[in-house]
Chains A and B, each alone.
Chain A
Amino acid sequence: MAVTKVVMPKLSEQMEMGKIIKWLKQEGDRIQSGDILAEVETDKADVEMEAFGSGVLRKILVPAGSQAPVGTLIGVIAEPSEDISQLGGPDMAPQTPQAAQPAKPSEPTQPAKPSAPATAGAGATEMANRPAAVPPMPRREDHAARTPSPAAGPEAPPASTRTAPGTPARPSAPAAPMPAAASLEGGRVKASPLARKIAAQSGVDLKLLQGSGPGGRVVRRDVEAASAGGGGGARPAVMPAVAPGVEFEDRPLTPMRAAIAKRMPLSKAPVPHFYVTSEIAMDRAWSLREELNALEGQPKISVNDFVIRACAVALLHHSGVNASFQGESIRVFHRAHVGIAVALDDGLITPVLRDAHAKGLAQIAVEARDLAERARHRKLRAPEMSGATFSISNLGMLDVTEFSAIINPPEGAILAVGSVRTVPVVTEDGLGVGRRMMLTLSCDHRVMDGAMGARFLQDVKRLLEEPLRLLV
């Protein structure tokens, strides 16, 4: 049994310090993985901290009533025979430099240091927030770029304000064409409420439009033009060019495993999961898929592509599920970037299919396959591995009836997809044969409640059981 370091968990994106309210276990107590060790106070909530290793609580390094930065070693769980003398005090040295700034992708993650899972310093916790084989992505900055903080100030008033009579209100700027980014102010698209509503309904990405209103405001006619002309307006988001060498395939495999091992408990313990399961009748989707795949010149569409499309459509109507816990607020996303878990020989990676809500089945099929292929060959680019707002994990190809997935923070939910099984079903005429698939949604209870998850799943079920809805 290895040594398990107990570190101050990061309970929200903003959390930097946590305070131990009380230890529920004392030094010398025997601990089973999953036991509640302590209660931790964050800026908003009191959270129970779970043990993610078994042994004896050998050492408490931060007493009740004291604060410690996120990632600080606050206790040690180990068998009585284990030597823990090499673990230093609360402020362990390796925490700072490498952890604070993303390691260069070309560098292996400290393979030489004695920082394998069992003995990694507190700094490894920071690294463990992301798979080590993945170039550390500035997740928070990524989100911040998309939505300005409230401190960024309100939008400037529209250029055409009312003026005195006889002085026609005319902005002084000439009526020159604006660049596409003209409507982006501090990351926020300037658009009329109606334009936003229509864009959401038709899957048009406002950020890609050039607004024709004052100051580049996107108005109804712009959205309608994009929706009519641009093939449903579903132009994919333009991927920023990636500098050569930012790919990650040179990374050693062991740290990836280590990172997953670290990261998952850091999701499971602080994120209060709950699960909602539903059985889907896949008969119609199955035959529709066969029909589609019989069409010449069309990409082959998988069951998972149906699930992605159904989730993306449903997420737009259930923005509460397309959301992230932010400590003091809940960030609700208006676009569905769907992470697709891809199994690798030695681990797992979740490339992101961006703006899935704005893409049809064929496009999803092509992009999902491309992402999975490149994930397996370690050819994903860095931006393709971050920014998911929701994830899907499918073990259907491995004959799995159902399972539950662990949420990938800061996302609020993940859908676990089982196999499509041929099973006896009760029909109006008696007993028949049907195709059934189990879906289990794991939800972050800080973001949503059971009924929200259930309603979302109900919509996904409806979309899959009436699959023509996915085509319109």
Chain B
Amino acid sequence: MAVMTYREALNLALREEMKRDDRVFVIGEEVGLYEGAYKVTQGLLKEFGPRRIVDTPIAESGFTGVGIGAAMTGLRPVVEMMTFNFALLALDQIVNSAAKMNYMSGGQFNVPIVIRGPGGPAHQLAAQHSQSMEVYFYHVPGLKVVRPSTPMDAKGLLKSAIRDDNPVIFIESETLYNIKGEVPEDPDFVIPLGQAAVRREGADVTVVAYMGMMYRAMEAAEELEKDGISVEIVDPRTLMPMDTETILASVRKTHRVVVVEAGAGFAGMGSEIAAEIQEAAFDDLDAPVERVTGVPAPMPYARNLEKAKTPSKERIVEAIRRVCYQDGNGSH
């Protein structure tokens, strides 16, 4: 194990997979000479050369299409979106080509592509650059969607994504690139897609959260521990396919659930998880599933308003107290 940043873990995953398989290449804006807008591809041009680290014009639809075509002919492209908000320009390529090619060609072509880059709220990146883009993709059959919360997950899941024969949407976070954590240096270390992680064991309530919200839930859990509320935190890690079993096992233990997500709540990840829980574990619920979500409004630039839009530790604490009937609003 080595301690490294999330950014370094991603870089290591790319380097290991490029060494392991010469069909793997990276394509995107400023991935080569500039070494990546967030330095995830640092050193790769020097190590692997311009044939495998390909700088492109500012043309997301174009270079995503190039990637999809390369994947169809047998290569394994990693397409970098400078931020995932720019994937909107490539949405037709991703949704109509990458996701559907295997189906529409009757299985003749698969598209082993990874489209990766940072998404979700960051620090004052404003309305167009702070969106939780995963919701656009996990609804599309044919795409896998990953949101890795830790450096170890960043490495293990990116390697699995590259080795996967399906298109994988891999959304990182500007706010997490500098966090540090233990990462196995073993080049064979991978984390399979579709496996949730229990980040914190607890007995009274299950909080489902990923990325920045997972860390915020951790802070809430620590605060509540002082009051005797024991919080379990489940990080889905892969949103599609979702590891429902791990979530349900936790619900059957704690009987109460709070889902936290940075994006707007309507038809969000929390809605889906709440639906799955009530379908499969209705009799185990002692309280309604609560969602703590972003406000359904464009992300403001102003720091105070940005904070107000995004779920805070306080709102998570309140929701947990409510489902535990310890908010003083029962009839006790």
Taking Cβ atoms with an 8 Å cutoff, the residues of A that contact B are 158-160, 162, 164-166, 168-171, 175-178, 182, 192-197, 210-217, 219-221
A to B CB contacts below 8 Å, 22 in the list: A160-B322, A160-B329, A162-B265, A162-B290, A162-B291, A164-B295, A165-B308, A165-B311, A166-B308, A170-B329, A171-B329, A175-B328, A178-B331, A192-B285, A192-B287, A193-B282, A197-B283, A212-B325, A212-B331, A216-B331, A220-B255, A221-B325
1/0 contact string of B220-239 vs chain A (CB within 8 Å):
00000000000000000000
B13-43, CB < 8 A from A? none
Closest 5 CB pairs of A and B: A178-B331, A194-B286, A192-B286, A220-B286, A197-B283
- Minimum Cβ distance to chain A for residue B56 (Å): 40
| Dominant SS among interface residues on chain B | loop
Q: Which residue of B lies closest to A164 (CB)?
A: B295
Q: Hey, which chain B residues are within 8 Å of A214, CB to CB?
A: 325, 329-330
B206 within 8 A of A: no
Given A177-B331, A212-B332, residue A165 in contact with residue B290 (CB < 8 A): no
Q: Hey, which chain A residues are within 8 Å of B327, CB to CB?
A: 160, 170
User: Which of the residues A170, A197, A210, A221 comes within 8 Å of B331, measured between beta carbons?
Assistant: A210
Q: Does A165 lie within 8 Å of B312, measured CB to CB?
A: yes
CA distance A212 to B325 in the complex (A): 8
Q: Hey, which chain B residues are within 8 Å of A194, CB to CB?
A: 255, 283-286
Chain B interface, number of residues (Cβ within 8 angstroms): 26
CA distance A410 to B180 in the complex (A): 69
Q: Hey, which chain A residues are within 8 Å of B265, CB to CB?
A: 162
Given A165-B312, A168-B318, A221-B325, residue A195 in contact with residue B330 (CB < 8 A): no
Q: Hey, which chain A residues are within 8 Å of B282, CB to CB?
A: 193
B141 within 8 A of A: no
Q: Which residue of B lies closest to A182 (CB)?
A: B331
1/0 contact string of B276-295 vs chain A (CB within 8 Å):
00000011111110110001
Q: Which residue of A lies closest to B252 (CB)?
A: A194
B199 within 8 A of A: no
Q: Hey, which chain B residues are within 8 Å of A166, CB to CB?
A: 308
- Minimum Cβ distance to chain B for residue A208 (Å): 15
Q: Which residue of B lies closest to A217 (CB)?
A: B330
Q: Hey, which chain B residues are within 8 Å of A217, CB to CB?
A: 330
Q: Does A196 lie within 8 Å of B329, measured CB to CB?
A: no
Q: Hey, which chain A residues are within 8 Å of B332, CB to CB?
A: 175, 177, 212
- Minimum Cβ distance to chain A for residue B301 (Å): 18
Q: Hey, which chain A residues are within 8 Å of B163, CB to CB?
A: none
Sample of 14 further A-B pairs with CB below 8 A, known A169-B318, A194-B286:
A159-B329, A164-B295, A165-B308, A165-B312, A169-B322, A175-B332, A177-B332, A192-B286, A195-B286, A196-B283, A210-B331, A215-B331, A217-B330, A220-B286
Q: Does A219 lie within 8 Å of B325, measured CB to CB?
A: yes
CA distance A465 to B255 in the complex (A): 36
Q: Hey, which chain B residues are within 8 Å of A164, CB to CB?
A: 295
- Minimum Cβ distance to chain A for residue B292 (Å): 8
Q: Which residue of B lies closest to A196 (CB)?
A: B283
CA distance A175 to B287 in the complex (A): 18
Centre residue among B290, B322, B329, B331 by max chain A CB count within 10 A: B331
B315 within 8 A of A: yes
- Minimum Cβ distance to chain B for residue A212 (Å): 5
Q: Does A158 lie within 8 Å of B312, measured CB to CB?
A: no
Q: Does A213 lie within 8 Å of B291, measured CB to CB?
A: no
- Minimum Cβ distance to chain A for residue B189 (Å): 39
Q: Does B288 lie within 8 Å of A158, measured CB to CB?
A: yes
CA distance A171 to B327 in the complex (A): 11
Q: Which residue of B lies closest to A216 (CB)?
A: B331
